[in-house]
Structure formats: structure tokens, C-alpha cells
Amino acid sequence: MAKIKPFRGVRPAEEMIKEVPSPPYDVLNSKEARVQVKDKPYSFLHVVKPEVDLPENVNIYDEAVYQKGKENLYKLIENGILIQDEKPCFYLYRLIMGNVDEIGLVVGASIEDYENNIIKKHEHTRADKEADRIKHVDTLNANTGPVFLTYKAREDMNNLVDELIKEKPVYDFDADDGIKHIFWKIDDEDVIKKIENIFKQIDFLYVADGHHRSASGTIVGQRRREANPNHTGNEEYNYFLTVIFPHNQLYIMDYNRVIKDLNCLSPDEFLKKVEENFIIDIHSKDKAYQPEGLRDFGMYLDGAWYKLTAREGSFPKNDPVKSLDVSILQENLLTPILGIGDPRKDKRIDFVGGIRGLEELSRRVDAGEAVAFSMFPTSIEQLMAIADAGKVMPPKSTWFEPKLRSGVIVHLLD
């Protein structure tokens, strides 16, 4: 059963809701963040990307960066830009992007559930990114960015949410990217108890996005647990900030690939090798190819778009990881033909989220890179199957949209 906890959220004063929330820390690089915070003194980027307030030559992992983030967070609280609710609450967070409409429950998720694999993972974490988030959480004494979790949708929870969103929200705003964000506070103790009881019947939660945030939140909690001789298990550090969505509301976009060179092959030599494991059809010189189903890929090479279809027998259909499109492309093309061994480390490959459109792929190849591939999106069912099997997805398999904004809600660890 999943253990969740209400908490005293720290969030923007109502009149400041359009001034504070920012993109997540890992969506922007430091240069982009510096541009975004110009004339925005209350942007939450000052907390999650605090290097924007330090000289450009400061290393982003320098101790001064974390201390600046701490200073900026508590300055927002002291000045009343951020307020803290008086009693523990759950919250509802709704995101609307075009036809996509998602409503998640904001809670504290249990680090014990993470340790015991009730919260299931599907990605490896990188040590450097994990260390960065541990330092950020520990220094600020807060989870400043929510983990994106999902669960297998339940009618009882859906019905309860449908009733709760009839109430007036505390926030309703459009972000500068056009995405609508609506937020409700749930402080009725009977409703809180009802939600807790529903989640006691949920066997597993799944990390959709935020493996480094969930790992760092857990590690900080473990360290504080070990250091506290009076530990009870009820302390706030035993929980980390999450927004939990039913699986059938989530929208996963394609996560595409761009390669810098053809590994010393001519275009004709490259195509001949690709043809060994893929059926190749010329699609168009003008119109990008968006894959229409699994085992289909688009490829932009030398000014033209091609459709690639994985040949029968070129991949194991019954393996939940190796049958993923990202695995098929990696194992049958990127590694053997282009020499991309470890896509996490190889500087010759880059990944482009589907939100940027296929035009970004052709633009980059036309500007000098060698070849790009458009992908069919991984499904949430594939993600859950891999997590259930205790396996790990290849890197950059999923791109979730819309993104949760940082600064809408913060969880303090004491």
C-alpha cells in the first residue's frame, strides 16, 4: 500500500502567483535561466537555479550556489512572497495544454515506500546529478521541485477529484508558454482521511519524471533519520514532494535523436548498412515524417526525410526493454553503424524533446549535423511494464508534457 502524507505547503501569496512559478531546474541551462530572470526578482529560478545571481564564472556546483539558493528561498518567505499554510493539506494541481488535461494530487511521498520499491523506478540516476540535488535539498532544507509520480487510475479517486475541483481554486493562471495551471487546497480532515484510505489500496506508485529528485529526497531523509536519536518516522524529512497523476491522463511525447556525424561513412554507405535491419522508404524532401506507430522511425538525412520500419526478427518482441523503439534504434543502428556506444556519455548524440517539433531536427541537420531520427512516443503502459519487471529503460526514452512549474508548492523538511 502507498503511504502519503499531507503537509504545510509553502506557496506564493495569491497576488504573486504569476510572478513566482518557473520552469523546472533541469529544463533550462544557466545561460537561458539568466535571460529568463531579467526583471523578474521573484522568479523561482532564483531558488532552483541560484547561479543566476552569481558571477558567470562560478561553478554551478560551488557551495556558494547552494547557499545563495537558501538565501533566496527564505528571503521570499520572510518578505511574504511565499506563505505557509497553517495546517497540513493535500493539494490538487491541474495542467491544461491544448487537449491534454491532467489533474494530480500533491502529497508527501514516503521515503520508506521508495526504499521498499512501492515507489517503482525505471531509470538509473547519474551520480553527479544526484549529488547536486542532495546538496540542494539538504542546504535549503526543502523539496523545491516536485517528483512526477503516477498510479493505475481508480474510479473512486477520479470521482472524488471530480467533486473537489468544483470548489474555487486558490490559483488559476496561464504561464508564459500558454499552459494553464489550476491549484486547489484540500484541508478538510475527512477528505484527507478518505484520500489516505484510497491510497492504502494502491499497491504501487511509479516515477514518471524526477528520478534524481526522488533519489535525493530519499537520501537526505535517510541521513537525517540516522543522525536523529529521537527519530519517530513522522518527521517531514521522511517524505518528499510529489504530484501523483492517474496513468491514463498522462501525455508522453516523442524524444528524438540528432547525431553529429556518420562515423566516417558516406550517405550511400550509411543507407546500405541501415537497410540490413530496417525497411527504408523515401518520405519527402519537404515534409517531416512523424512515426505513426511502434517500430516506425523517421530519419532526416542529406536534405530528405525517410521512413524506417524495423524488420521482423531484428529485435526480441517479448523483452519489455529491448522491444522499445529507443532500444531498437540504439541496438540496430546507433551502436553498430554510427558507433554510439553509451548514449549517456557520447558527445556525438543529442536528444530533442518532441515539444520542440520535428522542424528542429531538420534545422539542425541542415545547419551541419549529420542525421536525425524522429521517434514514436513510449507509452505509459510500456513504462509501467518495465518498472514492474524491475528493469531499466534506456536514457531519454520519455518526454512528459506539460511540465509542472517549480515554486507553485514547496515542502519544508522540518
> Residue type at 216?
S
pLDDT category, 373, cuts 50, 70, 90? very high
Which residues are bridge partners to 82 per DSSP? 12
Residue 220 lies in a domain: yes
Q: Go through the chain and tell me how many residues it has.
A: 414
What is the DSSP code (8-state) at residue 331? I
The pTM of the full predicted model, rounded to 2 decimals, is 0.91
Q: Say which CATH number the domain at 322 has.
A: 3.30.1760
Separation of first and last alpha carbons in the chain: 25
Residue 198 lies in a domain: yes
Radius of gyration, CA atoms only, the chain: 22
Q: How many domains does the chain have?
A: 2
Q: What pLDDT does 283 receive?
A: 87
pLDDT category, 152, cuts 50, 70, 90? very high
236 in the same domain as 110: yes
Which residues are bridge partners to 282 per DSSP? 306
CB 47 within 8 A of CB 74: no
What is the DSSP code (8-state) at residue 307? E
* Percentage above 70 pLDDT, the chain: 100
261 in the same domain as 227: no
Range(s) of the domain holding residue 176 = 4-251+401-412
Q: What pLDDT does 285 receive?
A: 79
237 in the same domain as 290: no
Q: What pLDDT does 337 receive?
A: 98
pLDDT digits (tens, 9 = 90+) for 273-288: 999 999 999 887 789 9
> Residue type at 316?
P
Residue 394 lies in a domain: no
90 in the same domain as 29: yes
Residue 392 lies in a domain: no
pLDDT digits (tens, 9 = 90+) for 91-137: 999 999 999 999 999 999 999 999 999 999 998 888 888 999 999 99
160 in the same domain as 32: yes
149 in the same domain as 67: yes
Place of cell 529521537: 230
213 in the same domain as 154: yes
Distance CA 292, CA 253 (A): 13
pLDDT digits (tens, 9 = 90+) for 217-258: 999 999 999 999 999 999 999 999 999 999 999 999 999 999
Residue 396 lies in a domain: no
Examine residue 402 and say whether the peptide bond preceding it is cis (omega within 30 degrees of 0).
Answer: yes
320 in the same domain as 296: yes
Query: What is the three-class DSSP state of 328?
Result: helix
**Within 13 A of 348's CA, how many CA atoms are on the CB side?**
15
279 in the same domain as 240: no
CB 146 within 8 A of CB 256: no
132 in the same domain as 116: yes
110 in the same domain as 16: yes
Residue 144 lies in a domain: yes
pLDDT category, 396, cuts 50, 70, 90? confident
Instruction: Compute φ and ψ for 64, nearest 5 degrees.
Output: -60, -30
Angle at 40 between CA 50 and CA 14, to 5 degrees: 105
264 in the same domain as 243: no
Cα dihedral across residues 379, 404, 410, 226: positive or negative: positive
Query: What is the three-class DSSP state of 224?
Result: helix
